[in-house]
A and B are shown apart, each in its own frame.
Chain A
Amino acid sequence: MTSETTAADIDRQELEQQFAELLDHYRGEPGALVPLLQGAQGIFGYLPEDVMRRVAEAAGEPLSKALGVATFYSQFRLHPHAKHTIRCCHGTACHVSGASRISEEVEKYLGIHAGQNTEDMLYTIEEVHCVGACGMAPVVMINDRAHGKLTPEKAVGVIKAFQAEVEGEGSGALAAASATGEEEAEQ
């Protein structure tokens, strides 16, 4: 119990440290509100109230404006987000190729609707407009990796394959997760 608490505390301290560096980096820079919100969300996964307050303060803007900006753009989340994001593309090419049926099946399989998290906080489903892989429509993205030419069955199949890869390997789970999010990892 105590050792777990300590580990969590260290994690939180680390995040706080990153957040403080982010605030210092952008403090006083014009137009910093959006990158600050993006950075903060990158650190905490979403934008809790105290984070919003400190972002607003660092950007030299009232909290009302920070909240106005955060709710204007679809990227920002005011509530916690699950670990992995499944984005069902609803761009035009995907729509005319049956994206609605794919969304239905994916939602049914995970037991949640778009915009919701699974109870274990492992998966969030999002509906997005276009991921730029129209030639492969219909497309579903799992984290930063796109999967194309899907049918409802295949879409569930790629999610199952991802789950097996990430959850099946126990301690290796993190490594597998970052391998699929390779675009980020290589930066």
Chain B
Amino acid sequence: MTAQRTLVQPVPRNPRRTIPEVDVRICLGTGGVAAGSREVLKAFEEELARTDVLAVIRPREDECSGRCASVTGTGCQGLCAMDPLVEIHLRRNGSSSKVTYGQVTPAMVPEIINQHILGGEPIEKWLVLSDQGPTEYNAFYDAQEKLTLRHVGVIDPEDIDDYLEAGGYQALYKVLSSMTPAEVIDEVKRSGLRGRGGAGFSTGQKWEFAAGYGSPDGVKYFICNGDEGDPGAFMDCSALEGEPHAVMEGMAIGAYAIGASTGYMYVRAEYPLALRRIKIALKAAEERGLIGENIMGSDFSFHIKLKEGAGAFVCGEETAMMQSIEGNRGMPRMRPPFPAESGLWKRPTNINNVETLAVVPWIITNGAEAFASRGYEKSKGTKVFALAGKVNRTGLAEVPMGMTLREVIFGIGGGVKNNKTFKAVQMGGPSGGCLPEALLDLPVDYETINQTGAIVGSGGMIVIDEDNCIVDTARYFLTFTQSESCGKCPPCRIGTKCMLELLNKICEGRGTPGDIDMLQEMAQEVRTGSLCALGTTAPNPVQTALRYFRDEFDEHVVEKKCRAGICTALVTYAIDPETCTGCGACLRVCPTGAIAGEKKQAHTVDAALCVKCGTCYEKCRFGAVKRS
């Protein structure tokens, strides 16, 4: 198995001919593009070319005799709240400065070029990060340590030479040239790396199992799980978009360790940008002999095929994913046999999540100890969290495990948007739960979070505030799991449906005190009677909500009141005659003509006609429309 031939160490084919004086890097992740970063990139290219001083070049292709600039698209730079992000690195007169601007629009580009790039004076008010001094966003960056996302937002993900220049594929070279499969497994085991997809199982141990099983025809499979289904988590999306080669390199290292020759990347169809970049990366890696037959001239061959998901959350479960790759309905099956023994097409198969694989090359290069020295008790290394919802600094943050929830949400995330009151953080998506303020000092660690009833899961952290209803949030997740249940196990198929109906009843003001007991009872049935994790964890959002926010459920059932004003049946709208200026804005937007009143006189709402859409509430500039 170890390589006997002379290995060829990978190097960039087109090394940089020029280090440009001006290096502009723009976030082209899904979030960045959504914020308009493509237009910003175009503006930089055009406006820089318009200056007579700078020539816009491609550093790998063009020589530059005078002063030159390059403009590069990268993956997600992390602080999505401030997208589009633009990093500008100036190297001039022997000194260097690097700053990042946030919420850049094409209109801002000429000023940035004139004042900063040509004039040398950064525009302070637009800065989010600077190596010249602190900004108000430093708290977002300072506590982070990027091992997994080390290349994301830094390199051009569509240029394999960028990855190679950053040390890419050197870990694979190290493995093929100097390590046995057993040594690779041992290294990963000692690092303490655990599956980042949610289950948190030891990666090295998983590889050891798969390596231990023989295959009748020698065929084994290595699958990368890129079916990031948890709504609210986007770190896998970001890794696939921003460093597809790192994920592929991790796969190749794992495949070498377990003895697999074929790999599949299963990526959801909802990530078109990730799919496109993987295709580009795969083609380039095959062309350079880094993936495919006799990798780097060794005896090790590993082919990767890309499988596009077809839209089914349950396919994130490993046995369901294998069914899907085989061309069947993605329905989980009983384990044992575990995939390590009999998986895809009945061959030994190993499945790892994207984030897990992306950090493997780092572990090989830097050593197990370096990874294990970070983190907390049984949760080693770093983990990427996706901060979203009602938090000021939404984005991706990679931090050592064991940091407290408060540090992540209030330190890195900058607290709750619009100075609203924190209500809960939802962790682990449809398999997780909502944790209240009182638990925010807990460390983020698999075991600790499990004890709360939520899970670390894939790392989604959705902050919800006083304007969100906890019953509605529980109902949201049940709606999700109910529609995504594959239908195999009746407790999941029917139980989630019944639970959802109860939650609908409570949200619609028809709840009775017995409903909450019934919910508890059914939650237990669904948990114990389902085969896969989708069913066994489906009740988590409801159970944690009941555990920590029981008073809100009781309010809905007994007082018929929704304090957040989300459950429309429990809400009434009225206009405060003292505050109303009679501007008529509410009257004009009301879809049912429920609002009446003369110009400059206080208006009124006819409760019989009101459909409680809340449009008047959103429209009123004087806060005269009251919701209760």
- Using a CB–CB cutoff of 8 Å, the interface residues on chain A facing chain B are 30-35, 37-38, 59, 61, 65, 68-69, 72-76, 90-93, 95-97, 101, 104, 108, 128-137, 139, 144-149, 152, 182-184, 186-187
Q: Which residues does chain B contribute within 8 Å of A134, judged by CB atoms? A: 80, 232-234, 386, 388-389, 394, 460, 462
- Using a CB–CB cutoff of 8 Å, the interface residues on chain B facing chain A are 30-31, 33-35, 38, 80-81, 83, 228-234, 237-238, 269-274, 276, 279, 307-313, 324-330, 345, 386-390, 394-396, 426, 429, 460, 462, 464, 468, 473, 476-477, 480, 486, 591, 613-614, 618
Q: How far is the CA of A131 from the CA of B274 in the complex (A)?
A: 11
Q: Which residue of A has the minimal Cβ distance to B241?
A: A132
| 8 tightest A-B CB contacts, nearest first | A135-B80, A91-B231, A33-B327, A73-B310, A92-B232, A93-B388, A132-B237, A146-B34
Nearest CB of B to A151, in Å: 8
Verify B311–A75 contact, CB threshold 8 A: yes
Q: How far is the CA of A47 from the CA of B345 in the complex (A)?
A: 27
Q: How far is the CA of A101 from the CA of B617 in the complex (A)?
A: 13
Listed by A's residue number, 9 A-B pairs whose Cβ atoms lie within 8 Å are A30-B345, A31-B326, A32-B327, A37-B310, A72-B329, A95-B473, A135-B386, A136-B31, A148-B35
Verify B329–A69 contact, CB threshold 8 A: yes
Verify A59–B270 contact, CB threshold 8 A: no
Q: How far is the CA of A184 from the CA of B326 in the complex (A)?
A: 26
Verify B308–A38 contact, CB threshold 8 A: yes
Nearest CB of B to A88, in Å: 13
Verify A132–B270 contact, CB threshold 8 A: yes
Q: Which residues does chain A contribute within 8 Å of B234, judged by CB atoms? A: 130, 132-135
Verify A95–B476 contact, CB threshold 8 A: yes
Partner of A101, one of B274, B394, B468, B614: B614
Verify A135–B330 contact, CB threshold 8 A: no
Q: Which residues does chain B contribute within 8 Å of A147, judged by CB atoms? A: 34
Partner of A146, one of B33, B325, B394, B429: B33
Q: Which residues does chain B contribute within 8 Å of A183, judged by CB atoms? A: 272-273, 276
Q: Which residues does chain A contribute within 8 Å of B312, judged by CB atoms? A: 72-74
Q: How far is the CA of A38 from the CA of B324 in the complex (A)?
A: 13
Q: How far is the CA of A93 from the CA of B461 in the complex (A)?
A: 9
Beyond the given pairs A59-B327, A93-B394, 18 more chain A to chain B contacts, judged by CB atoms under 8 angstroms and listed by A's residue number, are A34-B324, A35-B308, A38-B308, A65-B328, A73-B330, A92-B460, A93-B232, A93-B388, A97-B390, A101-B613, A130-B231, A132-B270, A134-B394, A135-B396, A139-B34, A147-B34, A152-B618, A186-B276
Q: Which residues does chain A contribute within 8 Å of B486, judged by CB atoms? A: 72
Partner of A31, one of B31, B237, B270, B325: B325
Q: Which residue of A has the minimal Cβ distance to B82?
A: A135
Q: Which residue of B has the minimal Cβ distance to A69?
A: B329
Partner of B390, one of A90, A96, A152: A96
Q: Which residue of A has the minimal Cβ distance to B232?
A: A92
Nearest CB of B to A130, in Å: 4
Q: Which residues does chain B contribute within 8 Å of A32, judged by CB atoms? A: 327
Nearest CB of B to A131, in Å: 6
Q: Which residue of A has the minimal Cβ distance to B463?
A: A96
Q: How far is the CA of A72 from the CA of B485 in the complex (A)?
A: 10
Most chain B C-beta atoms within 10 Å of own C-beta, residue among A69, A73, A184: A73
Q: Which residue of B has the minimal Cβ distance to A31?
A: B327
Q: Which residues does chain A contribute within 8 Å of B270, judged by CB atoms? A: 128-132
Q: Which residue of B has the minimal Cβ distance to A76?
A: B310
**Assuming A30-B345, A91-B231, is B327 touching A96 (CB within 8 A)?**
no
**Assuming A91-B232, A187-B276, is B326 touching A137 (CB within 8 A)?**
no
Partner of B279, one of A33, A90, A92, A187: A187
Q: Which residues does chain B contribute within 8 Å of A61, judged by CB atoms? A: 327
Q: Which residues does chain B contribute within 8 Å of A128, judged by CB atoms? A: 270
Nearest CB of A to B504, in Å: 14
Most chain A C-beta atoms within 10 Å of own C-beta, residue among B234, B307, B429, B618: B234
Q: Which residue of B has the minimal Cβ distance to A132?
A: B237
Verify A68–B276 contact, CB threshold 8 A: no
Q: How far is the CA of A130 from the CA of B313 in the complex (A)?
A: 11
Nearest CB of A to B182, in Å: 31
Q: Which residues does chain A contribute within 8 Å of B271, judged by CB atoms? A: 131-132
Verify B329–A68 contact, CB threshold 8 A: yes
Nearest CB of A to B329, in Å: 4
Q: How far is the CA of A73 from the CA of B386 in the complex (A)?
A: 26
Q: How far is the CA of A33 from the CA of B323 in the complex (A)?
A: 11
Q: How far is the CA of A72 from the CA of B329 in the complex (A)?
A: 6
Nearest CB of B to A72, in Å: 4
Q: How far is the CA of A146 from the CA of B29 in the complex (A)?
A: 11
Q: Which residues does chain A contribute within 8 Å of B389, judged by CB atoms? A: 92-93, 96-97, 134, 137
Verify B310–A96 contact, CB threshold 8 A: no
Partner of A135, one of B279, B327, B395, B426: B395
Partner of A38, one of B33, B310, B394: B310
Most chain B C-beta atoms within 10 Å of own C-beta, residue among A33, A61, A133: A133
Most chain A C-beta atoms within 10 Å of own C-beta, residue among B34, B35, B276, B326: B34
Q: Which residues does chain A contribute within 8 Å of B591, judged by CB atoms? A: 108
Verify B394–A135 contact, CB threshold 8 A: yes
Q: How far is the CA of A147 from the CA of B234 in the complex (A)?
A: 16
Q: How far is the CA of A167 from the CA of B50 in the complex (A)?
A: 32
Verify B31–A129 contact, CB threshold 8 A: no
Partner of B480, one of A35, A129, A144: A129
Q: How far is the CA of A108 from the CA of B476 in the complex (A)?
A: 22
Q: How far is the CA of A11 from the CA of B327 in the complex (A)?
A: 30
Q: Which residues does chain B contribute within 8 Å of A101, judged by CB atoms? A: 613-614, 618
Q: Which residues does chain B contribute within 8 Å of A31, judged by CB atoms? A: 325-327
Verify A133–B30 contact, CB threshold 8 A: yes
Q: Which residues does chain B contribute within 8 Å of A38, judged by CB atoms? A: 269, 308, 310
Q: Which residues does chain B contribute within 8 Å of A76, judged by CB atoms? A: 310
Nearest CB of A to B32, in Å: 9
Verify A149–B35 contact, CB threshold 8 A: yes
Q: Which residue of A has the minimal Cβ distance to B268?
A: A132
Q: How far is the CA of A75 from the CA of B308 in the complex (A)?
A: 11
Verify B310–A75 contact, CB threshold 8 A: yes
Q: Which residues does chain B contribute within 8 Å of A35, judged by CB atoms? A: 307-308
Verify A92–B476 contact, CB threshold 8 A: yes
Verify A130–B272 contact, CB threshold 8 A: no
Q: How far is the CA of A131 from the CA of B473 in the complex (A)?
A: 19
Q: Which residues does chain B contribute within 8 Å of A187, judged by CB atoms? A: 276, 279
Q: Which residues does chain B contribute within 8 Å of A34, judged by CB atoms? A: 307, 310, 324, 327
Nearest CB of A to B527, in Å: 21
Q: How far is the CA of A95 from the CA of B434 in the complex (A)?
A: 15
Q: Which residues does chain A contribute within 8 Å of B614, judged by CB atoms? A: 101
Q: How far is the CA of A65 from the CA of B279 in the complex (A)?
A: 29
Verify B272–A144 contact, CB threshold 8 A: yes
Verify B345–A129 contact, CB threshold 8 A: no
Q: Which residues does chain B contribute within 8 Å of A68, judged by CB atoms? A: 329
Q: Which residue of A has the minimal Cβ distance to B279?
A: A187
Q: How far is the CA of A59 from the CA of B468 in the complex (A)?
A: 48
Q: How far is the CA of A68 from the CA of B309 in the complex (A)?
A: 16
**Assuming A33-B327, A132-B30, A187-B276, is B231 touching A137 (CB within 8 A)?**
no
Q: How far is the CA of A132 from the CA of B193 in the complex (A)?
A: 25
Q: Which residues does chain A contribute within 8 Å of B279, judged by CB atoms? A: 187
Q: Which residues does chain A contribute within 8 Å of B613, judged by CB atoms? A: 101, 104
